[in-house]
Amino acid sequence: MTDESNSKPPSMDLPGSSSVPKEARTKLVRHPGVVAIGLYMFLLAGVVVVYVVRGWVGPFFLVFSAMFIAGGLGLMMLLRWAWALTLAAVAILSGLFFWISVAQHLPYYLVHGLINLVLFLYLVRGEVRRNLR
């Protein structure tokens, strides 16, 4: 028998090995902000669900909740489409909260808009974009 017949095919993993490539794990460790923003997206999804359950907004808003969950999961997996979805979400929310703050003179919405603006500025950094697949 030759060595080629005893070697495992390149597509098979060992039983105890992790399914996440080491390269992806190190990228994620270098950007804990990406994980935090993904968790923030889950928080936003939960808030939307609570608003729908309490009747403050219509059931159509559950579409936004699903998009926030998809964006958060994809961002944690460092997927480029999720980055774009999350980027759009925080940009739109930032503008919305700034508008509400000015229209209703509520400082809480100004703070929330600034938080979303900071998240947007973090996501558009070249270093973050380079590490997405």
Residues 19-75: pLDDT tens digits? 556 666 666 677 789 999 999 999 999 999 999 999 999 999 999 999 999 999 999
At 122, the pLDDT band (50, 70, 90 cuts) reads very high
SS3 label, residue 56: coil
Compare 104 and 24 and report the one with higher pLDDT. 104
Examine the pLDDT at 103 and tell me if it is beyond 80: yes
CA atoms within 13 A of residue 80's CA, in its CB half-sphere:
6
**The tokens of 66 are what?**
């699903």
Residue 115 pLDDT? 96
Examine the pLDDT at 8 and tell me if it is beyond 90: no
> What ranges do the domains of the chain cover?
24-130
Residue 14 pLDDT? 46
Average pLDDT score, the chain:
85
